Amino acid sequence: MTAIRARALTVAGAALLITGAVTFTVATMQIRQAEASVSSVALPPLAPLSALRAPSGLPPASVSDAATLLARPHMGRAFGAIWLPSLNQRWAIVQGTRMSDLRLGVGHVVGTAMPGATSNTVLAGHRETVFDKLGRLAIGDRVVVRTDDGRFTYRVTGTRIVKPTAVSVLAPTKTAVLTMITCYPFVHYGPSPQRYIVTARLVTSELSAVAK
């Protein structure tokens, strides 16, 4: 009787294990199907950072007073650096926002003003690399940009979250403004459905001898 009971318990245990494995597999498949369904309908189509470009037909940016900014650098060429003192971060600025450009540093959006110009200078970077701490910038923090034209210091004036299709953030302005863009949320699996925007105004310009 003892042997029969032990055999019965063994068979019953094996059956429970098989049932549990099947249940787990089915549940996992259902969860994955649900996630795929949600991701396919919940997230809007994304405009990747690599697609950023100022709309054509916009008026050119005027240069800052007493400055004649140098010619625009070639695509993919580093032409300056951005320093965020409050975050203790410094990165190269590269012309363009292609994937290859953004691997090298912060990308300058083609068609927007060069740093120091009296208009909107737009810089973009990945949330996982150069702009991973952009959300920590506070109003009043300094942003220093250095190029061959000189050293330009901006002060943060605001932050906001927009849709990736909000091209208004690339539009020219009547004053010297710096706009920084990255994906949002900062901690998110897969493509981010929004963009985090930091704006800053130019407060001081120290022009190089070449630009004077």
pLDDT tens readout for residues 146-164: 999 999 999 999 999 999 8
Our count of domains for the chain comes to 2
CATH code where residue 125 lies: 2.40.260.10
For the record, the structure tokens of 63 come out as 């240069």
Q: Are residues 97 and 192 in the same domain?
A: yes
What are phi and psi for residue 202, nearest 5 degrees? -70, 130
69-73, 179-183, 199-203, range with the lowest pLDDT: 69-73
Share of residues in the chain with pLDDT > 90 (%): 50
| Residues 6+ away with beta carbon under 8 Å from 107 | 49, 52, 93, 94, 95, 96, 97, 98, 101, 123, 124, 125
Share of residues in the chain with pLDDT > 70 (%): 63
> Is residue 127 scored above 80 in pLDDT?
yes
When pLDDT is averaged across residues 183-206 and rounded to a whole number, the result is 87
| Residues 6+ away with beta carbon under 8 Å from 82 | 90, 91, 93, 106, 123, 143, 144, 145, 146
Confidence of residue 121 (pLDDT cuts 50, 70, 90): very high
The torsion of the CA quartet 25, 30, 34, 37, rounded to 10 degrees, works out to 100
Q: Are residues 1 and 104 in the same domain?
A: no
14-28, 53-67, 117-131, 175-189, range with the lowest pLDDT: 53-67
Confidence of residue 193 (pLDDT cuts 50, 70, 90): confident
When pLDDT is averaged across residues 22-27 and rounded to a whole number, the result is 49
Residue type, 55: P
Q: Provide the sign of the torsion angle of the four alpha carbons 126, 129, 131, 134, taken in this order.
A: positive
pLDDT of the residue at 187: 81
Mean residue pLDDT across the chain: 77
Residue of 38 and 140 predicted with greater confidence: 140
Q: Are residues 31 and 56 in the same domain?
A: no
Confidence of residue 180 (pLDDT cuts 50, 70, 90): very high
Confidence of residue 38 (pLDDT cuts 50, 70, 90): very low
Q: Are residues 109 and 194 in the same domain?
A: yes
Q: Are residues 35 and 69 in the same domain?
A: no
Question: Is residue 212, in this structure, part of any structural domain at all?
Answer: no
Return the SS3 of 9: helix
When pLDDT is averaged across residues 178-207 and rounded to a whole number, the result is 89
Domain housing 6: 1-42
Question: Is residue 33, in this structure, part of any structural domain at all?
Answer: yes
pLDDT of the residue at 51: 57
Question: Is residue 76, in this structure, part of any structural domain at all?
Answer: yes
Question: Is residue 119, in this structure, part of any structural domain at all?
Answer: yes
Confidence of residue 4 (pLDDT cuts 50, 70, 90): low
| Residues 6+ away with beta carbon under 8 Å from 3 | none
Q: Are residues 147 and 192 in the same domain?
A: yes
CA distance 196 to 160: 6
Q: Are residues 121 and 152 in the same domain?
A: yes
- 189 burial class (0-12, 13-18, 19+ CB within 10 angstroms)? exposed
Q: Are residues 157 and 200 in the same domain?
A: yes
> Is residue 189 scored above 80 in pLDDT?
no
Interval 42-99: pLDDT, tens: 223 334 555 555 554 444 444 444 344 556 789 999 999 999 999 999 999 999 999 9
